[in-house]
Amino acid sequence: MIEETEARRRILEAVDPGPVETVPLGEATGRFSGREIFASVDLPRFDNSAMDGYAVRAVDAGTGAFLRILEEQPAGTDRGLAVDPGGAVRIFTGAPLPAGADAVVMQEDVRADAASGRIEILDGVQPGENIRRRGSDVCASQRLLDPGDRVNAVRTGLLASQGIVKVEVFAKPRIAVVTTGDELVPPGTERIEAGQIFNSNGPMLAALAAEFGGSPRQFHAIDEAESLRAVLAEALADADAVIVAGGVSVGDRDLVKAELRNLGVREEFWRVRVRPGKPFVFGMAGRVPVFGLPGNPVSAWMTFMLFVAPALCRMRGENRERLATGLPLPRIEALAAERFENTGDRPHYLRCRLESDGRVRRVGAQESHALHGLSRAGVLVRLEPGEVREPGDAIRGYRL
């Protein structure tokens, strides 16, 4: 049995970033940048007005001053105008700032008199007011994205604002999800016999694999050596990573380890000191990582988050050292709403919720089959063996 951090470190050392491909920006959304991306243009691209109003010299535009309206500068074209002393240029949001102007008076803060062609300043401005300076958001050559950063909607917009139309993203790793067990039937099966259950790990692990950037394909094997071997061989033939769920424990029907070995998979370690998730097994089939997850649904989810998710993040270029330190989830520090104690000899992850007063309380059944409890959790608390937290004590965990 090895420690959780040691297990993750060894997995991260065994997997490497995968290949990248170039796709149109619209298809990059939701995927992961394959390289660093640098800005090529300043944003804003030119000094411009943040308001509809009048471009002025602040020194001329104190409260009560009268200014001559010179010309009009709309957005979308630079008329090359200038503001002379005592003058004001009518301007609109996003329009280039005329030479000589160093502030914009909002139109709400002037009284315009069409007959005299003048404005009266009702509320004076300071230099720089209502002006968006060139490069104040982004400077050309500034780094915008790191390898492994998700191209979310905002970043899609950011890249578009640079005029970018193609993006290098990591190719989606092909992930084989193999569930095992005689008792399992696919959801949708009309007649479910006594003793059978619906396969929930297959859909859950496929969803997780997709969430972490992979392209999943599901397989199922019964607990019989030869057919299991055949399914595992098929899964291994065409995958960048293989996840097997169930059959990795010590029961007579737990055949996964033996059949992986028969297929030439090199077992790196088996069993990790963590609860839930102890029977986790990790091996390598050449360069292809193989993750054996316990079948209990919460254990399967937990070991995916502890060991598979960091590996998938690494396969898309994320920094190995950063991933080694914990789960790829946002951390949270909060106060305990009730007493927590880990009386066991393994670190324990507990499914909790964050209450409206910011305190953390266990939610639902904590057993490793209890998927509903997990589904209601918003916080995952980690307790070391022997650790006790009294109500009101600080408590650490992850945000789900």
- Which residues sit at the interface with ligand AMP, rule CB under 6 A? 179, 181, 183-184, 197, 199-202, 245-247, 249, 251, 294-297
Q: Looking at beta carbons only, is 170 or 280 nearer to Mg ion? A: 280
Strand partners, 113: 118
CB of 290 to Mg ion, least distance (A): 17
Collapse the DSSP code of 235 into the 3-class scheme (helix H, G, I; strand E, B; otherwise coil) and give the result. helix
Strand partners, 177: 218, 243
Q: Looking at beta carbons only, is 146 or 224 nearer to Mg ion? A: 224
**Scanning residues 196 to 255, which ones bind Mg ion (CB under 5 A)?**
246-247
C-alpha to C-alpha distance for 229 and 243, rounded to whole angstroms: 14
184 binds, among ligand AMP, Mg ion, none (CB under 5 to 8 A by kind): ligand AMP
33 binds, among ligand AMP, Mg ion, none (CB under 5 to 8 A by kind): none
368 binds, among ligand AMP, Mg ion, none (CB under 5 to 8 A by kind): none
**Binding pattern for the stretch 289-308 against Mg ion, x by CB under 5 A and - elsewhere:** ------x-------------
Q: Looking at beta carbons only, is 43 or 243 nearer to Mg ion? A: 243
The reply to whether omega before 186 is within 30° of 0 (cis) is: no
Cα distances (angstroms) measured from residue 172 to each of 66, 181, 308: 63, 28, 15
Instruction: Identify the residue whose tokens are 């019964």.
Output: 222
CB of 250 to Mg ion, least distance (A): 11
**Single-letter residue type at 65:** A
Q: Does 347 bind Mg ion (CB under 5 A)?
A: no
CB of 292 to ligand AMP, least distance (A): 9
C-alpha to C-alpha distance for 320 and 318, rounded to whole angstroms: 6
CB of 370 to ligand AMP, least distance (A): 11
Name the residue whose CB lies closest to ligand AMP. 295
Q: What is the DSSP string of 131-179?
A: EE-TTSSB-TT-EEE-TT-B--HHHHHHHHHTT--EEEEEPPPEEEEEE
Residue 328 CB-density burial (10 A; 0-12 exposed, 13-18 middle, 19+ buried) = middle
Q: Which residues bind Mg ion (CB under 5 A)?
A: 181, 246-247, 295
